[in-house]
Structure 1
Amino acid sequence: MSSDRLSRPIHSERQVRIICIGAGASGLLFAYKLQRSFSNYSLTLYEKNADIAGTWYENKYPGCACDVPSHNYTWSFEPKTDWSATYASSKEIYNYFDTFSQKYGLRRFCQVNHQVVKATWNAARNAYDVRVRDLASEEEFDDTCDILINAGGVLNSWKWPEIPGLQQYKGPLLHTANWDESINLEGKHVGLIGNGSSGIQVLPAIQPYVKKVTTFIREPTWVSPVPGLEQHVFTAEEKQTFANNPSHLNEYRKEIESGMNGQFSTFMRATQIQKDTKEYMTGQMKEKLQSPELSNLLIPDWSVGCRRITPGPGYLESLVADNVQVVYGNIDRITENGCVCDDGKEYAVDVLICATGFDTTFKPRFPLFGFNGENLQDKWKDEPQSYFGIAAAGFPNYLTFLGPNSPIGNGPVLSAVESQADYMLKLIDRFQTHNIATFSPQPEAVKDFIEYKDEFMKGTVWADACRSWYKPTPEGPVTALWPGSTLHYMEAMDEVRWDDWNVRYQGNRFNWMGNGYSQTEVDQTADWGYYIRNKDDGEHMSRGKKLRIMNKSGSKQPTAQSGFSVFPKI
């Protein structure tokens, strides 16, 4: 490689082989951004499902939707004009990502029905040996890559509840993330375990047509949309306005995004917005429940935001419907007929739905061996510790989307995914144009980041003693969330801090300088005097000046910080 580089101009792009695990939203975005900016690469997205779009392909339970306003559950550069409602269904969201993949030709990178089952760092070749299973034939084969990207997602590995006797149940047993659409619920007595996001969406969707629902709830949770972001079905005229007036749509999206970004103070303890939001949501829940008994059981004592807030259109109203029975407490065991709870009663049901979530430990779903044969599954068994949510010390040339301590509950999430993709591509660009063998975060950098994160979290509502997938136990540590807002994360990720990374080279580290010629001189169509100009229109060198230009500082009137951010009218 060194002699080859010495015969080429500076910054010559070597061939880079990349494997990305997963063709959900993150994997598709990575493929789009890579093909938009890079050449001389190969990319394969191995997707275990029969189709793309990840969680939006997998989750097909009644009422499945996103809890982020639909016009902002898109890539920043790729709006959609015809969303049906403020909170769109999983099918609509799947169609958005499917259309995105077709528009930019991304399916050519995707190998569906293929699951990565093992990855091992090969120090002799500075590459990963990747074992892949073809789920259609059940045959396995080996692949290799210079850089391994994990876009497998967070809420991806669903799990049954750990309740004794679960498999003894004789009726249809369903999990929201593994839904069997052949099961007809109409006229049935349905048991529903869980009041997380999926349980909150399922109940109002099935309540109108089932005979009865017995919903098992073991703890309270906050359920209410943020003021101004209540559910709304868009009219044909509104959709037409969005389609015909891009500036109107863009302004609408910006106002929602600004409003979501303005909510971060909610997650800080003892702020006025936290106090106002708690008071507002308490009032909303009491008004919709119209039941002092249920209000006392279901409205939490802990702060708003300790668990992920769910808008929950129709959920609270469904709890007090005539055909809904609320059983509050723990399920001790499951029998052939239903659930035995800590009140000593057995509740028999015709169908049992488990809305009980996912394995959110952040461990890879497959053995991943890095330097010295260490398995990341073992390293992250008790507490996952990443660098800025994208990398792990000791695992070279390995990057992950939405890893530990990413901003998945801090504000707009897809904006953060875009920042992660851009950061990865900056690393890949340096890898491709320099004679780098490996890059990985320094253990000391990860240690310092975790110490900073843990100290920051003490001042947030996430540290309250609530049960949440943001942390392994109610007492913490907070392993899922970034120590700051989404905008804070985007600024932190704006450029690569190379002093936090271990970089190893093949041969002389300056061989990337090549044969003394620039890339400009080998391009006969380029302007070889491109830097000569009439005025200084170059990029500003200070971070502050660049940021003020980028965020259009001064373009808006300042607003006083109040209890709530202002969301737009349509």
Structure 2
Amino acid sequence: MADFIVPSPTSPETEAQHRRRGPIHAKRHVRVVCIGAGASGLLMAYKLQHHFSNYSLTVYEKNTEVSGTWFENKYPGCACDVPSHNYTWSFEPKLDWSAVYASSREIFAYFNDFATKYGLHQYVKTRHQVAGAYWNKTRGGYDVQVKDLQNGKVVTDHCDILINASGILNNWAWPAIPGLDKYKGVLLHTANWDDNVDLKGRHVGLIGNGSSGIQVLPTIQPYVQKCTTFIREPTWVSPVQGLEQHVFSDQERLEFATKPGALTQYRRDIERGLNGQFGLFLKGTNTNADTEAYFRQQMSEKLQNKYLEERLIPNWHVGCRRLTPGVGYLEALGKENVEVVYGEITEITERGCLCNDGKEYPVDVLICATGFNTSFKPRFPVVGPAGNNLQDDWAEEARSYFGIAAADIPNYLIFLGPNCPIGNGPVLAAIESQADYMCKLIDRFQTNNISAFAPKAEAINDFIEHKNQFMDATVWQDPCRSWYKAGKPDGPITALWPGSTLHYIEAMMEVRFDDWEVKYNGNRFAWLGNGYSQTELDPTADWAFYIREKDDDEPFSRGRKLQIINKSGSMATQAGAVNYLGSGKETDLGGSPQPKL
């Protein structure tokens, strides 16, 4: 069946008039620009290719390769803190992960292979960086300024829909410490690693005990002459019970590859365990109390040092900062060639770090494991129809609709925006739900004469109010310094969803169009067309498809639909099941089932 092509309108009435000559829901051509070819951008390219026709797509990527943060981060020990078999798309398993926590190079290979398998590289322009996006008041959509990083030239592209998939953990930042430019040794950042620097036999300084620093230390400790690690605050470091590091044997990998259902069952067991941990983030739950006791015991046993125990084990709840498995980190702190300096660095000198204990610590190489700028503010101007720049709108606090869109910035969609479940549970499942939601919006845009769609400001205000009330009951509100709160101990929680990942997936299953402001080209009912259906346009379709022997309709109620989707009744009652009797109080929340590895 050929598409009835609706041309890009030169005026609002042009599209409406043309639609009246075609069938209902005629598909107009949709031009999509996606910023970033990391995991999210590649998934969006796959979804568009898989589900749509009569569209064009360009994905602009600043790096020389796809895979985003997993291409950029190559520091020693770099890995994901999510079990590898569950750091895949739900529909695209990988048979041969080396271990429970895989290296960044393996993860890069997974996403690059995904792009190759489905021919996604054809959409990607590498070494092209978006410098700005400006609403075109005449045509609608965005004029997107793109810098070719190979020759420095800036070109302008145009799109109907702009998707920002640039991520939140790839805009790395140097520490805000005076004198950084004075240092005369070798200066490195974990997110801008130089493989040509040889650390063997050298005295290395390491700033930071976040995820990157925790991965670096045990990797470099065996071959550096000495490592002085600078730590300014405590953090919880331990794998969740049942999800310790484990290298898969040849036999296990063979079973995953050849035994029907073995890998799927393993992945589901892990995912159930991850989804069963949400109680960990709620104050006063058994899950949080039991996990904290387990972490405290594990940290004490591995540190074997009262001085470090008193300073590194937090007095705030487990989960306030992102959990870090920390394979080998605590043990490395006790090695003879590791010196722990606890406190603030007041200044970087020519030789090393001057700390608030009054001492200068000279080092040959200084590694800054100091993370990323996670303000959510776009790194380039995004200017809406009223001339408002999202950079200004989000300068103080990023306020989005369900982590995917912003008020007064129409036809602009975001992956992993403010208050989405980046730390609530399995993140790739959340990204998939965002991509599916975006596809529903794009389908509505393509088959209707819509000119612009954006979430209503009042809907976002209500969402933020609900989010803030919910967060009062979570451990994220504790006074820890976290990128969940833009690095502020008492700031608003801008990075996390008010609920579990499963909660987010269910919230995103249907588009609530009453929360969206929609504007049309011409008469809003022009999509009704010339009176013919799409079915009549297809000579191979059954023009009496609704005549049948029994009622086999899909359920109309949300509850019945969900029971089919989540296979209700297929499982024995699971430990950790929650029973809320409308009071908002926990009545039965036990420990989460953990898979055997």
Correspondence for 1:175: 189
1:351 to 343, 359, 365: 365
- Name the Cα RMSD after superposition: 0.7
Pairing 1:522-537 to 2, within 5 Å after superposition: 522-537=537-552
* SS of equivalent to 1:257: helix
1:241 to 242, 246, 255: 255
1: CA distance between counterparts of 2:156 and 2:286?
A: 56
1:138 to 127, 147, 152: 152
Correspondence for 2:569: 554
Correspondence for 1:151: 165
The answer to whether the 8 A contact 2:286-2:591 is kept is no
The answer to whether the 8 A contact 2:69-2:169 is kept is yes
2:280 to 256, 262, 266: 266
1:372 deviates by 1.2
* SS of equivalent to 1:371: coil
Matched to 1:512, the amino acid is W
1:538 deviates by 1.4
1:246 deviates by 4.0
Matched to 1:201, the amino acid is Q
Unaligned runs of 5+ in 1: none
The answer to whether the 8 A contact 1:274-1:563 is kept is no
Between 551-560 and 201-210, the greater mean CA deviation after superposition: 551-560
Correspondence for 1:309: 323
Matched to 1:568, the amino acid is P
The answer to whether the 8 A contact 1:276-1:563 is kept is no
2: CA distance between counterparts of 1:566 and 1:265?
A: 12
Correspondence for 1:567: 594
Matched to 1:101, the amino acid is A
1:405 to 419, 422, 446: 419
1:156 deviates by 1.2
Q: Note if 1:362 corresponds to 2:389.
A: no
2: CA distance between counterparts of 1:563 and 1:234?
A: 30
1:453 to 467, 472, 495: 467
Post-superposition CA distance 1:514-561 (Å, at most 9, x none) = 000000001011111111222222110100011111111111111343
Pairing 1:425-436 to 2, within 5 Å after superposition: 425-436=439-450
* SS of equivalent to 2:510: coil
1: CA distance between counterparts of 2:541 and 2:148?
A: 46
Q: Note if 1:482 corresponds to 2:497.
A: yes
* SS of equivalent to 1:373: coil
Correspondence for 1:50: 64
* SS of equivalent to 2:40: helix
Pairing 1:270-349 to 2, within 5 Å after superposition: 270-349=284-363
* SS of equivalent to 2:386: helix
2: CA distance between counterparts of 1:132 and 1:26?
A: 20
1:177 deviates by 0.2
The answer to whether the 8 A contact 1:120-1:370 is kept is yes
2: CA distance between counterparts of 1:44 and 1:422?
A: 19
What is the count of residue pairs matched by the alignment? 570
Correspondence for 2:90: 76
1:245 deviates by 2.0
Post-superposition CA distance 1:285-337 (Å, at most 9, x none) = 00001111111110000000000000010000000011100000000000000
1:371 deviates by 2.5
1:563 deviates by 4.9
Correspondence for 1:25: 39
Correspondence for 2:580: none
Matched to 2:309, the amino acid is S
Correspondence for 1:230: 244
Correspondence for 1:107: 121
1: CA distance between counterparts of 2:252 and 2:265?
A: 14
Correspondence for 1:211: 225
Correspondence for 1:437: 451
Matched to 1:481, the amino acid is L
Correspondence for 1:5: 19
Post-superposition CA distance 1:173-210 (Å, at most 9, x none) = 00000001110001000000000000000000100110
* SS of equivalent to 1:372: coil
1: CA distance between counterparts of 2:202 and 2:523?
A: 72
2: CA distance between counterparts of 1:549 and 1:476?
A: 40
The answer to whether the 8 A contact 2:23-2:531 is kept is yes
Matched to 1:80, the amino acid is K
Unaligned runs of 5+ in 2: 1-14, 577-588
Percent identity (aligned): 66
Normalised by the size of structure 1, how large is the TM-score? Answer: 0.99
2: CA distance between counterparts of 1:504 and 1:312?
A: 50
Post-superposition CA distance 1:27-58 (Å, at most 9, x none) = 00000000000000000000000110000000
Q: Note if 1:423 corresponds to 2:437.
A: yes
Q: Note if 1:498 corresponds to 2:525.
A: no
2: CA distance between counterparts of 1:550 and 1:154?
A: 31
2:54 to 25, 40, 44: 40
2: CA distance between counterparts of 1:568 and 1:243?
A: 19
1: CA distance between counterparts of 2:33 and 2:385?
A: 19
Post-superposition CA distance 1:361-402 (Å, at most 9, x none) = 001111111121111111101100000000000001000000
Q: Note if 1:375 corresponds to 2:375.
A: no
Pairing 1:382-397 to 2, within 5 Å after superposition: 382-397=396-411
1: CA distance between counterparts of 2:38 and 2:546?
A: 42
The answer to whether the 8 A contact 1:27-1:151 is kept is yes
The answer to whether the 8 A contact 2:574-2:593 is kept is no
1:239 deviates by 0.4
Normalised by the size of structure 2, how large is the TM-score? Answer: 0.95
1: CA distance between counterparts of 2:205 and 2:260?
A: 46
1: CA distance between counterparts of 2:314 and 2:541?
A: 64
Correspondence for 2:482: 468
Post-superposition CA distance 1:333-368 (Å, at most 9, x none) = 000000000000000000000000000000111111
Matched to 2:345, the amino acid is I
* SS of equivalent to 2:591: coil
1: CA distance between counterparts of 2:419 and 2:357?
A: 38
The answer to whether the 8 A contact 2:202-2:365 is kept is yes
Matched to 2:493, the amino acid is V
Between 522-531 and 390-399, the greater mean CA deviation after superposition: 522-531
